[in-house]
Amino acid sequence: MIKHIVMWKLKDEAEGADRATNGRKLKELLDACRGISPGMLTLEVALAQPGLEATYDAVLYSEFTDRDALNAYLDHPQHLALKPFIAAVREARQCMDYEV
């Protein structure tokens, strides 16, 4: 199994919207990717919550049966279509993939 975790720190303002609005849109776009490719086991998106420690604004946690399944997700047209929005609103990105 491959775990794919990505975190984003968002710009204060981008694409004509504030950080909170862009965070909600980011979550909506990523949530819509749930189940788009075979071998995806889990896809969970969360936004930083007031009162809880967070150095990033959004996190994606996902699991795939294997590397081919992860690549199918990464190359899926729906996933590729959201990348320009994310690139425009993000200040920083961290990613880690690992096999268990």
Domains delineated in the chain: 2-99 (3.30.70.100)
| HSE-up (13 A, CA, CB side) for residue 98 | 6
Enclosing H/E stretch for 89: helix 77-89
Phi, psi torsion values for 76, nearest 5 degrees: -65, 135
pTM here is 0.94
DSSP assigned state of 11? P
- Tens-place pLDDT, residues 65-80: 999 999 999 999 999 9
- Tens-place pLDDT, residues 10-41: 999 999 999 999 999 999 999 999 999 999 99
Burial class (CB in 10 A: 0-12, 13-18, 19+), 4: buried
